[in-house]
Amino acid sequence: MPRKLIIDTDPGVDDAIAILMALAASQLDVIALTTVFGNASTDVTTTNALTLLEIADRADIPVARGASKPIASNYIGPVPQVHGHNGLGDAPFPPPQLAPVAETAADFLYAGVAEHAGEVTILALGPLTNLAVALQQHPDLPSLVDEVVIMGGNALVPGNATPVAEANINNDPEAADLVFGADWDVTMVGLDVTHQINLSSAAIKRITIADTPAARLLADALPLYQGFFEARMGIDGIYVHDPSTIAFLLEPGAFTTQAWPIRVETESFSRGKTWPNLGDTDDSAPPAWRGRPRVKVCTDADAQRVLDLVESLLGANQ
């Protein structure tokens, strides 16, 4: 039985890659996409979610529109220099014919999880606002979910949105602190591993040369994103942030994890930093971490295994 997945997302070029991988993986059954602000506004990310499903010929998968701002602050704003003004590398996609469902992302997510109690994994690829709202509105949510896998955070390495914070967590630190503090099985696939996993320009060429709708979409959407990594980070190719979560779902053995409670800084210049408590047991832990659940934090990855999986799911055979 394929594993049921709800993808909460802010597409976003790397979200698009991850979603296309999930749709291509026979072990995964994507039952809904829920959208959130982040790489672009929620209007844009919702349009992009619909566009992706239309291009992938998956109109059967519903899209629910989510939060357009963080739970306790203002939206920092889009990042057109990374993902383009349209969130998909400024490639000119026609407006989708599909439309979102009427329910909010938080309600739709809860309803989907409740309908298949214990069977649904939530994959969060953007700011954690929708998950936090769902937790606030439906306190029994954690007991109904199988697992939560998050692209976000940085335990032992610097940030990417600020010197100390990763972009998804930085976009809504209060929401992230709620999500990491809830009583469910959470895995953090953060910069500790995604900055080890570099899809080269040669690999991108091999993927985008294929004569498939997914490859053609990525061929149009990737150049601006790739240019950002080359210009700003000096790497050939891209870091596969969101796609690494799909690799974690399919091949968890490719990742090393540590079980650490996580707090998220919400103040001043360290806002958005995910702080693990590395050593103490619950009883002797500093008060801020005491009683917090342990999060599975990915600290190391077999990068080549992840990259091979990205290529095999997006390659010409799809």
Residues forming the active site: 10, 241
Residue from 12, 87, 173, 276 that binds ligand RIB (CB under 6 A)?
12
Decide: 124 and 8 in contact? Cβ < 8 Å.
yes
Contact indicator for 290, 263 with CB cutoff of 8 Å:
no
When computed from its CA atoms, the radius of gyration of the chain, rounded to whole angstroms, is 18
Of the listed pieces 85-93, 126-134, 247-255, 268-276, which binds Ca ion according to CB under 5 A?
126-134
Provide the residue type at 223 as one letter. Answer: P
Q: Does 78 bind Ca ion (CB under 5 A)?
A: no
Q: Which residue has the tokens 């500790």?
A: 192
Binding letters toward ligand RIB, positions 219-258, x by CB under 6 A: ----------------------xx----------------
Q: Give the one entry of Ca ion, ligand RIB, none that residue 167 binds, where binding means its C-beta sits below a cut-off of 5 to 8 angstroms depending on kind.
A: ligand RIB
Residue placing its CB nearer to ligand RIB in the complex, 123 or 307: 123
The DSSP bridge partners found for residue 261 are 294
Residue choice 151, 179, 224, 238 for contact with ligand RIB (CB under 6 A): 151
Q: How many CB atoms lie within 10 A of CB 59?
A: 13
Reduced to 3 states (helix: H, G, I; strand: E, B; else coil), residue 239 is strand
Q: Which is nearer to Ca ion, 10 or 192 (CB)?
A: 10
Nearest-approach distance from CB 125 to ligand RIB, in angstroms: 5
User: E strands along 57-136, which residues?
Assistant: 63-64, 120-124
Residue 70 interacts with ligand RIB (CB under 6 A): yes or no: no
Record the tokens describing residue 173, joined without a space. 């630190």
Chain residues 159-188 in contact with ligand RIB, contact rule CB under 6 A: 160, 166-168
Within 10 Å of residue 246's Cβ, how many Cβ atoms?
A: 30
Which tokens go with 305? 């295994």
Between 12 and 96, name the residue whose CB sits nearer to ligand RIB.
12
Site residues for ligand RIB per CB under 6 A: 10, 12, 14-15, 38-39, 125-126, 151, 160, 166-168, 241-242
